[in-house]
A and B are shown apart, each in its own frame.
Chain A
Amino acid sequence: MLVKFFFGLRAAGVPVSVTELLTLLEALRAEASGLSAQQFYFLARTCLVKDERHYDRFDRVFAEAFQGAERLFAELLAAQVPAEWLRGPAAGLLSQEDRRAIDSLGGWEKLIETLRERLREQKEAHHGGSKWIGTGGTSPFGSGGYHPEGVRFGETGARQRRAVKVWERREYRNFDDTVELGTRNMKLALRRLRKFAREGVADQLDLDGTIEATARNAGLLDVKLVPERRNAVKVLLFLDVGGSMDDHVRVCEEMFSAARCEFKHLEHFYFHNVPYEQVWKDNHRRACSAVGTLEVMRTYGHDYRVIFVGDATMSPYEIVQPGGSVEHWNGESGAVWVQRLCAAFPRLVWLNPEPEQRWQHIASVRILKELVGERMYPLNLQGLDSAITELRRTGQAPPRPHARDA
């Protein structure tokens, strides 16, 4: 059963390895915790999950794998079939618990049955909602609903006010990394892009170097200096503004402010829908802060990493047709410009705040995704993570998308 559970976890994307499974078995053998379903849940979570973002997935798999299995815990006690993890010096404790468990078995089973039914009913009622099980529906079970009769026996008998079992409450939904993110999370993700290099004037004392040189010099001081460590990553950020992007203003702001803090060499430009021959530095002064896209390509070297942020949602003509722009007459199509940018900056990604599931239904998103060589990622923590991984890759040229127009 545990092995099946283990593979269930892997399938759900919780990174568990054999080591952790063995650790869990070892912990069970060593009787590291009590024997109630809930304590088993806590123990399994402690051993198998190493990141709070995976708590929610763990809860889901746990609920699925051990659905109905809580009874096993009671039966194990009642039938006195102590598995290897029931053995040992807990004998005094055990007999007492046994007695109690046997006493309460009928009541417990019935209670759980009713509870489960109630939960099932409610799940159906909430069908389509994002919340799996609301706590409200189980209120008849109220305090002590989970376990009033004492099969659960930790050292502390306190606080048994659980109505829905802990793993079914899914309290950790917020930590799942497919949800939207705040600045701090973004900073963390962006931070992975940091690359330190010693640049500039050598003005710091290199203690280790000095000691080594002095030792080699038979004790005569030989001072060595090194330049300061600096974050050497250079980033160009292109932000889509206006139109359909209004829905995503907040997440883009966050992205922008996070990027601002993390990189010393950060330049940002705005564009509308697709970059054409001009982008601009300041959205309020579009006319006078415009910069030619060609000039951008000339000014910033190909070692700059480029991040586009845009929902890529528009009429396909705005991308593939010369003159397709909604704002002005563009001589060359957006696709041409995107291809030029891809060629000028080999390390480039597109972050899309639209949910990924919707992409395939929007023609313009599909086109742009192909244009940037499939390097389009959703603007959530996971997407940002893969985008950064892509940017870190030392740059060979991406697969060249075929030209869409003549």
Chain B
Amino acid sequence: MTRRFGGTDRYIATDDLMTAVNAAITLGRPLLIKGEPGTGKTQLAQEIARSLERPLYEWHIKSTSKAQQGLYEYDAVSRLRDSQLGEARVQDIANYIVKGKLWEAFESQVQPVLLIDEIDKADIEFPNDLLRELDRMEFYVYETRELVKARHRPIMLITSNNEKELPDAFLRRCFFHYIRFPDESTMRAIVQVHFPGLKRELLAEALRTFYEVRETPGLKKKPSTSELLDWIKLLLAEDIDPAVLRANEERKVLPALHGALLKNEQDVHLFEQLVFLHRRAR
């Protein structure tokens, strides 16, 4: 039986996430992961690879990415140049086929983990161009007339930030999971995993401030898990006293080192106004 994923010492996975990951592994289907930025979508693939001891292939998508680039590319320009120099290798077209991430993953000796990161950044047609590859885990190289088949169906993770709607035909082939923003106790577990020796007092104050900031109405960009972790790292580095954090309980000052949490000048401004209002109200 295949091994199951159950979170790692560095990654807290909720029950629903584990169910989704294990279902995808068992049935060999791609798993589409969505969620707020900074909730650990990309990290999930790395942790699955680490905990199951599988090689990881990462394919990061940009707005200019083409589906073909993940399979292979035909380097026509260097062949053209070589032909003008009269080199012998020009005769074999296979010398100019550059393998993409998908091909590499298909050739792996053990079952690999393949991450297709931020698929929504690419062109709208991008997912449609990968349908057959995802379904059958094979593709055809026209230049050399060769069929590339996956030795082992890769554990495939696809992340999306919801910038574009994905086509139905593509979604049909995937499992889907939405990573919710963690609730307070999960968050506590996550922070503990990253900062094992953290003082309980500081943690409590930091989390309280964090959720307070998150719940402020009108924020443009809500801070997420990764921002919280950065912020705690900063608090530790600067050796901030929990008492300082408590001072902002009544909104008298901006939270210490707020730059790690608020990433937008309008948001900082909003907070300054709140602080101002609270001072005046007293």
Chain A residues in contact with chain B, CB under 8 A? Answer: 15, 17, 19-20, 23, 26-27, 30-33, 38-39, 42-43, 45-47, 49-52, 55, 89, 154-156, 159, 161, 166, 171-172, 175, 188, 191-192, 211, 214, 219
Contacts and interface: CB of A to CB of B under 8 A. Distances in A.
A175 B80 CA distance: 52
A306 B276 CA distance: 43
A52 B15 contact: no
Given A50-B174, A156-B15, A191 B26 contact: no
A30 B177 contact: no
Nearest to A194: B124
B54 to A, nearest CB: 18
Contacts of A175: 178
B178 A38 contact: no
Could you say which of B32, B165, B185 has the most chain A C-beta atoms within 10 Å of its C-beta?
Answer: B165
A171 B22 CA distance: 23
A209 B164 CA distance: 29
16 contacts: A15-B168, A19-B172, A32-B23, A32-B27, A42-B19, A46-B176, A47-B23, A51-B171, A89-B1, A154-B18, A155-B4, A156-B15, A159-B15, A175-B178, A211-B76, A211-B77
A155 B27 contact: no
B84 interface: yes
Given A32-B26, A50-B32, A156-B6, A43 B19 contact: yes
A8 to B, nearest CB: 19
B50 interface: no
Given A23-B29, A46-B177, A50-B171, A159 B19 contact: no
Contacts of B23: 27, 32-33, 43, 46-47
| From B18, B27, B165, B176, residue with most partner A Cβ within 10 Å | B176
Contacts of A166: 16
B162 interface: yes
B118 to A, nearest CB: 15
B211 to A, nearest CB: 16
A52 B178 contact: yes
A154 to B, nearest CB: 6
Contact of A219 (B7, B84, B162, B175): B84
B34 interface: yes
Given A30-B26, A51-B176, 19 more contacts: A15-B168, A17-B172, A23-B29, A32-B26, A42-B19, A46-B176, A47-B23, A50-B171, A52-B34, A52-B178, A154-B15, A154-B19, A155-B18, A156-B7, A159-B185, A161-B185, A192-B165, A211-B77, A214-B80
Nearest to B220: A183
A219 B86 CA distance: 12
A115 to B, nearest CB: 19
B273 interface: no
A389 to B, nearest CB: 12
Contacts of A17: 172
A42 B15 contact: yes
B19 A33 contact: yes
B20 interface: yes
Interface string B121-155: 00000000000000000000000000000000000
B180 interface: yes
B95 interface: no
Contacts of B7: 156
B9 interface: no
B22 A32 contact: yes
A26 B27 contact: yes
B27 A20 contact: no
B172 A20 contact: yes
Contacts of B165: 188, 192
Given A31-B26, A89-B1, A55 B172 contact: no
B239 interface: no
Contact of B22 (A33, A55, A211): A33
B264 interface: no
A169 to B, nearest CB: 11
A156 B7 CA distance: 10
A27 B153 CA distance: 16
Contacts of A156: 6-7, 15, 18
A27 B26 CA distance: 8
The 8 closest A-B pairs by CB, nearest first: A42-B19, A52-B178, A32-B23, A50-B171, A32-B26, A46-B20, A42-B16, A50-B176
Given A23-B27, A50-B176, A214-B80, A39 B164 contact: no
A173 to B, nearest CB: 12
Contact of B20 (A15, A19, A42, A50): A42
Contacts of A192: 165
B15 A188 contact: no
B83 interface: yes
Interface in B210-245: none
Interface in B75-117: 76-77, 80, 83-84
Contact of B178 (A33, A55, A161): A55
Nearest to A38: B15
Interface in B28-50: 29, 31-32, 34
A193 B219 CA distance: 28
A156 B16 CA distance: 11
A42 B179 CA distance: 12
Contacts of B176: 46, 49-51
Contacts of A52: 34, 178
Nearest to B5: A155
A155 B6 contact: yes
B31 to A, nearest CB: 8
B250 interface: no
A33 B21 CA distance: 10
Contacts of A211: 76-77, 80
B201 interface: no
A166 B83 CA distance: 65
Interface in B155-202: 162-165, 168, 171-172, 174-178, 180, 185-186
